[in-house]
Amino acid sequence: MTTITAAVTIRGVEKVFNDGSPDRVEALGAIDLTIPPGEFVTLLGPSGCGKSTLLRIIGDLVQPSAGTVAVNGKEAPQARRDRDYGIVFQQATLYEWRSVLKNVELPLEIMGRSREDRERRARAMLDLVQLTEFERYFPFQLSGGMQQRVAIARALSFEPSILLMDEPFGALDEMTRERMQAELLRIWSQTGTTVIFVTHSIPEAVFLSSRVVVMSPRPGRIAGIVEIDLPQPRNDDTREHPRFYAKLTEVRETLRSVEPA
């Protein structure tokens, strides 16, 4: 093999919920998508376009009705067993009985790592998300943004090759959100992880991604893919870059092109 294996290869993936019943929903229809390693890809679209379902299919949390998903050259269930995925949801989903440090350690605990190794890794991750001083705090003592940073640290603690993020900043206020976006890009550039990110915010998609996959609803399809060739590394200046606006417009028009008149 001379070609580099794609991080994720999706071929003809379809998803039908409640098949054979009156409330049958065609959530995804014939999705093809290839994501190279180290890319930051965003799935963008209105509610009901199946972007979260597609993310869950990639992560083997939902089974496709048709088609195949290959992750690092393996089938998705195998990739899950190999712990290729780090997952962050819109809710931080921290375990409230565990301290911040213990939350980050949980995946490593299940993987049977030694206590010393766990603590070292977890502390390194908390350092990465700049929460070192909070390791002994409990989730309820943290703000929403801090909780989400813990969730990111936890998702990265076992060095998964792919980070799946389902509207992770959706519940945060605008200022925290922008700070978290910048922080995520810093973490992405430091770890080289492939990131697949779901959002319905156009500026968020353009700011973060190397490619924006624009999806249309009923059934969910890829309406178009917009390359975001804005300079890296990105920072707050990126948001004022003239081409940033051009890209926003391009994404917006791709979204509109599929809306029924």
Partner 1 sequence: MTTATGIRRAPPVGTVLRRYLPAVLIFIAGIALWEGIVIVFHIRTFLLPRPSRIASVFVDQFEVVVSAGWLTMRKAMVGFALGAAGGIGVALLTSRWPIVRDGVMPFAIAVNSTPIIALAPIMNNWFPITSVWPGATVVALIVFFPVMINMVRGLSEVSAGSLELLDSYGATPREVLVKVRIPHALPFVFSAFKVGTTLSVIAAVVSEYFGGSRATLGVYISQQAALFHFAETWAAIMVASFSGIVMYLAIVLVERSVIPWHASIRNVAGT
Q: Which residues bind partner 1 (CB under 8 A)?
A: 59-61, 80-81, 83, 85-87, 89, 91, 93, 95-97, 99, 106-107, 109-111, 136-138, 140-141, 158
Distances (CA, A) of 101 to 66, 118, 147, 153: 40, 9, 12, 10
Structure tokens at 12: 């003809």
3-state secondary structure of 198: strand
Q: How far is the CB of 50 from partner 1 (least distance, A)?
A: 18
Residue whose CB is less far from partner 1, 66 or 110 = 110
Q: How far is the CB of 248 from partner 1 (least distance, A)?
A: 31
Query: Half-sphere exposure (CA, 13 Å, Cβ side) for 94?
Result: 29
Residue whose CB is less far from partner 1, 61 or 124 = 61
Q: How far is the CB of 92 from partner 1 (least distance, A)?
A: 9
Position 132: which residue type?
T
Q: How far is the CB of 161 from partner 1 (least distance, A)?
A: 13
136: left (phi over 0), alpha (psi -120 to 50) or beta: alpha
Residue whose CB is less far from partner 1, 83 or 239 = 83
Distances (CA, A) of 66 to 2, 81, 106: 29, 21, 34
Q: How far is the CB of 1 from partner 1 (least distance, A)?
A: 27
Residue 54 to residue 44: CA distance in whole angstroms: 11
3-state secondary structure of 148: helix
Residue 8 to residue 241: CA distance in whole angstroms: 31
Residue whose CB is less far from partner 1, 17 or 137 = 137
Q: How far is the CB of 42 from partner 1 (least distance, A)?
A: 20
Residue whose CB is less far from partner 1, 170 or 203 = 170
Structure tokens at 95: 């375990």
Residue whose CB is less far from partner 1, 14 or 135 = 135
Residue 180 to residue 198: CA distance in whole angstroms: 15
Neighbours of 112 (CB within 10 A): 8
Q: How far is the CB of 196 from partner 1 (least distance, A)?
A: 13
Residue whose CB is less far from partner 1, 61 or 182 = 61
Nearest CA-CA partner of 244 in 180, 235, 192, 188: 235
Residue 233 to residue 249: CA distance in whole angstroms: 22
